[in-house]
A and B are shown apart, each in its own frame.
Chain A
Amino acid sequence: DTGVSQDPRHKITKRGQNVTFRCDPISEHNRLYWYRQTLGQGPEFLTYFQNEAQLEKSRLLSDRFSAERPKGSFSTLEIQRTEQGDSAMYLCASSLGDWGEAFFGQGTRLTVV
């Protein structure tokens, strides 16, 4: 296992389009997290899963954002009707349990034009 992988690494999309990102966590990790990071800021929590269950979703998260982890393995994050303010780095992380260290993927950089 080579760690957490995210696909694609970069995505440029036109405003109003839908985009979907994929995250493959470390195989034995039951926790999976999605974050958004903009320049000069720390990772902003979006949501997390324990196995296939989505246990928490940020109140700041728009209804245009949805995430799934159907079989408790990989996860997808979809953004509908993208806006320029959605431009950011989207990071995925996985961990073993609540107190385990988080292993981050390289991120998907989204640019909305």
Chain B
Amino acid sequence: GQQVMQIPQYQHVQEGEDFTTYCNSSTTLSNIQWYKQRPGGHPVFLIQLVKSGEVKKQKRLTFQFGEAKKNSSLHITATQTTDVGTYFCAGAGKSTFGDGTTLTVKP
């Protein structure tokens, strides 16, 4: 069945450094969604990408959907301590979540 892989599994950064997580699917996705889960919390929706090559920005966060619609990335510029958490991508109508990238930020 469809699988969604995320790398890296963990990322530790100094506050102010940039961060990127990558999501790769074994099959073409109709759309991809990104969620953030804070420690002890539940996943919270960030954004949905639909079009091939789409790029969306939310303040310091930039999301990209690959041309082949099989990969996506989330980039955070100048991380802050409020960015800590695990970032998940989800495809296939929310039935396939990656295992996430856990971001820790050292002040």
Q: For this complex, into which size category does the number of interface residues on chain A fall?
A: 20 to 34
Q: Are B99 and A41 in contact (CB under 8 A)?
A: yes
Complex Cα distance, B97 from A98, in Å, reads: 15
Closest to B47 in A: A101
CB interface residues, A 12-66, toward B, < 8 Å: 33, 35, 40-45, 48, 56, 59
Fill in one digit per residue for B81-107: 1 if any A CB lies within 8 Å of its CB, else 0. Answer: 000000010100111111110000000
Q: Are B31 and A99 in contact (CB under 8 A)?
A: yes
Contact A40-B99, Cβ < 8 Å, known A33-B94, A103-B45: yes
Complex Cα distance, B47 from A88, in Å, reads: 27
**Known interface pairs A99-B50, A101-B45; 17 further A-B residue pairs with C-beta atoms within 8 A, sorted by A's residue number:** A33-B94, A40-B99, A41-B100, A42-B6, A43-B97, A45-B97, A48-B94, A48-B95, A99-B31, A101-B33, A102-B33, A102-B35, A102-B43, A102-B94, A104-B44, A105-B42, A107-B42
Complex Cα distance, B50 from A93, in Å, reads: 21
| A95 within 8 A of partner (CB) | yes
| A111 within 8 A of partner (CB) | no
Name A's B-contacting residues (CB within 8 A): 33, 35, 40-45, 48, 56, 59, 91, 93, 95, 98-99, 101-107
Closest to B44 in A: A104
Which of the residues A33, A43, A95 comes within 8 Å of B88, measured between beta carbons?
A43
| B27 within 8 A of partner (CB) | no
Q: Are A42 and B98 in contact (CB under 8 A)?
A: yes
Complex Cα distance, B50 from A99, in Å, reads: 10
Contact A95-B94, Cβ < 8 Å, known A43-B88, A101-B45, A105-B42: yes
